């Protein structure tokens, strides 16, 4: 087994997004005095397993459905290129399903003990997350091929990722925290949008009707600016409502990174967009770090 090949297939550059939503949940919990390292680390581990599962499933599904072809602009995919056989990828997908379940169940037991109502509810969310990670591009009717990927990202990288992780710490729901959850969700949708703008032509040929394929390049760029502005605006509104000190607005030091991303997405051709996925993912993680520091200084 070539370890380097598998690490490439894991697409580690996408992991900052997975860590960002859990980090946001951890900072919000810490600001209310409910942070626990064991819960946080298990949240991160489970989310990383889910992200890798999604990446492997995406590699396999897009190769089967033809979205990964010689016309694709982005990085070479493992199954389409023949580096990893489809059967090997299916085994890896199964392995990461088991890792997600093992890590997730351990997390829930640490957070809730044997509170069966909470255990069953969050176990159901975990199973739903696993199904969503696989069904994005795998199966007869993958939802990513009808333009629902953005909604899934908003739900799992924003609402569930942030609100769910906060609840694991606090066992309380603060609906105002939907705003920072939306910030994480919108920025994560932005990463997917850059990916989909880059792959518009190959996706169209494969019958993958992502948002950019449906609305066109010009409107997809406008949509990208909406996601960037919406993410920043949600964070500003949260801190205006919760205002205690100006330190809460520390996260605005990352605003130029998002504006820079939007400008380059507007100007660059598809073949030059790939580095902007990593740039936006890292910017999102930095946003969360500065947002969290601001919360802890109140």
Q: What is the pTM of this model?
A: 0.93
Task: Say how far apart CA 159 and CA 144 lie, in whole Å.
Answer: 19
Q: Can you give the pLDDT at residue 198?
A: 93
User: What does the block give as tokens for 169?
Assistant: 């710490």
User: What does the block give as tokens for 237?
Assistant: 């509104």
Task: Say how far apart CA 296 and CA 41 lie, in whole Å.
Answer: 19
Is residue 262 within 8 A of residue 224, CB to CB? The reply is yes
Task: Say how far apart CA 60 and CA 160 lie, in whole Å.
Answer: 25
Q: What is the pLDDT along the chain (298 residues), one digit of tens a residue?
A: 578 888 888 888 889 998 999 999 999 999 999 999 999 999 999 999 999 999 999 888 878 765 555 555 556 667 877 788 999 999 999 999 999 999 999 999 999 999 999 999 999 999 999 999 999 888 778 898 888 999 999 999 999 999 999 999 999 999 999 999 999 999 999 999 999 999 998 888 888 899 999 999 999 999 999 999 999 999 999 999 999 999 999 999 999 999 999 999 999 998 899 999 999 999 999 999 999 999 999 8
Instruction: Spell out the residues 6+ positions from residue 7 whose beta carbon is closer than 8 angstroms to its own.
Output: none
Is residue 184 within 8 A of residue 24, CB to CB? The reply is yes
Is residue 124 within 8 A of residue 142, CB to CB? The reply is no
Task: Say how far apart CA 77 and CA 71 lie, in whole Å.
Answer: 12
54 class by beta-carbon count within 10 Å (0-12 exposed, 13-18 middle, 19+ buried): buried
User: What does the block give as tokens for 257?
Assistant: 């990174």
What is the domain partition of the chain in residue ranges? 3-296
Q: Can you give the pLDDT at residue 74?
A: 55
């Amino acid at each position: 087994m070539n370890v380097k090949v598998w690490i490439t297939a894991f697409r580690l550059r996408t992991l900052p997004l997975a860590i960002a939503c859990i980090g946001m949940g951890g900072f919000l919990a810490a600001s209310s005095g409910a942070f626990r390292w064991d819960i946080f680390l298990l949240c991160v581990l489970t989310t990383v397993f889910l992200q890798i599962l999604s990446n492997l499933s995406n590699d396999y599904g897009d190769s089967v459905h033809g979205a990964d072809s010689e016309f694709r602009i982005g990085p070479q995919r493992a199954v389409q290129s023949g580096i990893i056989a489809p059967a090997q990828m299916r085994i890896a997908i199964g392995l990461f399903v088991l890792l997600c379940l093992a890590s997730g169940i351990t997390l829930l037991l640490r957070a809730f003990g044997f509170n069966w109502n909470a255990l069953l509810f969050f176990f159901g969310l975990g199973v739903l997350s696993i199904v969503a990670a696989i069904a994005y591009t795998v199966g007869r009717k993958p939802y990513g091929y009808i333009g629902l990927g953005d909604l899934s990202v908003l739900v799992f990288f924003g609402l569930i990722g942030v609100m769910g992780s906060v609840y694991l710490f606090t066992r309380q729901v603060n609906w105002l925290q939907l705003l920072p959850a939306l910030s994480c969700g919108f920025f994560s949708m932005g990463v997917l949008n850059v990916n989909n703008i880059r792959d518009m032509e190959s996706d169209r040929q494969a019958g993958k009707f992502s948002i950019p394929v449906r609305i066109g390049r010009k409107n997809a760029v406008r949509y990208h600016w909406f996601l960037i502005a919406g993410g920043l605006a949600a964070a500003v509104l949260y801190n205006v409502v919760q205002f205690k000190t100006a330190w809460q607005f520390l996260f605005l030091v990352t605003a130029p990174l998002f504006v820079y991303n939007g400008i380059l997405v507007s100007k660059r051709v598809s073949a030059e967009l790939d580095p902007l996925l990593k740039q936006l993912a890292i910017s999102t993680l930095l946003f969360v770090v500065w947002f969290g520091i601001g919360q802890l200084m109140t």
